[in-house]
Chains A and B, each alone.
Chain A
Amino acid sequence: MDESKQDAQFREWHREHQGIILRIARANASNLADQEDLIQEISLQIWNSIPGFNGSCRASTWVYRVALNTAISWGRKEQSQRRKKKEFANHLHILKETSEPQNEKLEWIFEQIRKMDPIDRSLILLHLDGQSYQEIADILGISEKNVGVKLSRLRKALTKKANDDDL
């Protein structure tokens, strides 16, 4: 695939699925610097994955897969390694603040998600984003039944925590 086609595809996916990347970054990193780092990492992996995309699934499914896989690998890297990389990075700020006010309830949800292990984090993100059990099973590579069992447990735990914290 030549670079101009890859570039066009990248721009299109980024325009359509920017929200997915933003939410996954926020669910995996608490501060803006780390979120920027993860967004860059996810975007790089999306760029690299474009030649391998054969259209056998929806583009959004593909983006979820790449982004969640990257987030897990990113989370496994040593903090010091990430900091070192950041220090040397050509640091353009890619996150722009909007005029929307900070929502405390949404931040509370993200905080709970960040406390989960990477698998549960991926599951609940996909579920909250409205993905069907079939799509979640496809993205994670597990059975729909398994998705149902795990989500039921996660939903209960999250609701209980929300009530305990008087959200």
Chain B
Amino acid sequence: MIFEDLEIIWRDENAHPTHTIDDEALRQIVLERARNYRRDVFWKDAMDIGIHVGTAVLLVGVCLWTLNEIGKFTQNMISMLVIAAAYLFASAFRWIGGQRQKAREANFDDSLRGNLEKLVANADYHIRLQQNYLWWYLVPVLPGYLLLAASFWSSGPEAFWFMTISVIALFSFVHWGNNQIVRTKLIPQKEELESQLAGLENGGKSAEIRGSSKRTTTDELSLRRRCFGLGLALLILGMAIAFLVKVFWPVQQLQEPDFEDISAFAKVAPFSAIRWENDQPIVRVEDRWSPLISIDDIPIEEIMEHARKEFGDQAQMRFGEDLPRVLSSFGHAPKWEVTLGLQAEDGQMKQLKVKMTEANRTLIRDKRLEHQN
């Protein structure tokens, strides 16, 4: 048999096909799939970009509404605005990148080779997008989330660290997942396309021709390692900045207080309960009731004398529930940890370093409200 015999079989037998296409059924399916295709493209764009833009708009809206309600910026609002700005940046980056890629792909011709080159360029774009996800998405969004995590500091450093570590763990997981997609899916796809493209050439010229878009696996690994190393360094830096901002911010607030503005002070207390014997506070610390003699070496008598002048009948309530404000108005800005002078059972005074927590203050306030009711 010679090749021409195969050509005859091909020509003759294909002239009498065993199947034909039902034109009308196919047309219906094509029309429906064309509509679905347009809808899918719309939703893909909406999912990629719209969700982030929508979330950013929502966050800005919530900030504006809150600002209108309370008339001042809070730390949470700043966190939300930072996150919103990062989302807008990421969406704009993605949209502009997508448009530029579409323009680049439009330059390829309609031949099979042009189509393969277009697919390689597309795969290359998605590889770069995923590999740089850390820079255009995670790093811009991270400060906002860390600031938000920092707002948990007032509930105790454990809550802050839990939130911070959770955010970083989540981001690291996303980064790792992206690298997995690049390594297991996108790079093999690109390599397969490049090998098909190579098949269009004689010999091994294809690698040279398409060399501009092809990197070696070693280069890719090294690039990923560099990205990850730098990313990790940035994460740690961001975490440190957020930590310092949160630790020093409230101290600054307490040192320069606006005494009329109650919300300027942290709602914390170093003891979990308080009762009074005249102007002598008896406080509950580490599950034990003790008379409180001093705070940070300032005698309670002095503090209460000042509180009486400043708050009148509300002095005892303010002492229990707004201690940072009371101490600040007295001229002493407390830290997150204060030294309590407590009278022991043997009459001696012992000093105890205690953290001021929101939970303590809530217990005191709840107890008072319960008593009032």
Contact = CB atoms under 8 A, between A and B. Distances in A.
A14 interface: yes
Most chain A CB atoms below 10 A, which of B1, B25, B112, B201: B112
B17 A22 contact: yes
B37 A72 contact: no
Given A39-B21, A69-B115, A162-B1, A141 B34 contact: no
Interface in B82-110: 109-110
Contact residues of A: prevailing secondary structure:
helix
A72 B115 contact: yes
B20 A18 contact: yes
Interface in A122-145: 122, 128, 130, 138-142
A44 B33 contact: yes
B34 A149 contact: no
Contacts of A14: 21, 23, 26-27
Contacts of B110: 62, 65-66, 69
A18 B114 CA distance: 24
A146 B202 contact: yes
Contacts of A138: 111
Given A44-B37, A94-B21, A109-B10, A140 B30 contact: no
A139 B19 contact: no
A98 B18 contact: yes
A1 interface: no
Given A96-B22, A140-B113, A146 B201 contact: yes
B9 interface: yes
Contacts of A31: none
A141 B200 contact: yes
A65 B26 contact: no
Contacts of A95: 19-22
A90 B30 contact: no
Contacts of A155: 3
B278 interface: no
Contacts of B351: none
A101 B2 CA distance: 25
In which size bucket is the chain B interface? Answer: 35 or more
B116 interface: yes
B245 interface: no
A139 B3 contact: no
Contacts of B158: none
A162 B23 CA distance: 35
A159 interface: yes
Given A21-B21, A69-B112, A92 B10 contact: no
A47 B109 CA distance: 18
Contact of B192 (A76, A94, A130, A146): A76
Contact of B29 (A90, A105, A150): A90
A100 B16 contact: yes
A31 B17 CA distance: 15
A132 B202 CA distance: 20
Contacts of B23: 11, 14-15, 18
A158 interface: yes
Interface string A89-109: 010111111101111011001
Given A98-B20, A128-B11, 11 more contacts: A7-B27, A43-B26, A44-B30, A48-B34, A62-B110, A65-B112, A138-B111, A146-B200, A146-B202, A149-B202, A158-B6
28 contacts: A7-B31, A11-B23, A18-B21, A19-B17, A23-B14, A40-B30, A47-B31, A47-B34, A48-B37, A65-B111, A69-B115, A92-B28, A93-B25, A94-B21, A96-B19, A98-B16, A98-B20, A101-B18, A105-B9, A106-B9, A106-B10, A119-B199, A128-B7, A128-B10, A139-B111, A139-B112, A146-B202, A162-B1
Interface of B: 1-3, 5-7, 9-11, 13-14, 16-23, 25-34, 37, 109-116, 119, 189, 192-193, 196, 199-202
Q: Which 4 A-B pairs have the closest CB atoms?
A: A141-B113, A141-B111, A106-B13, A119-B199
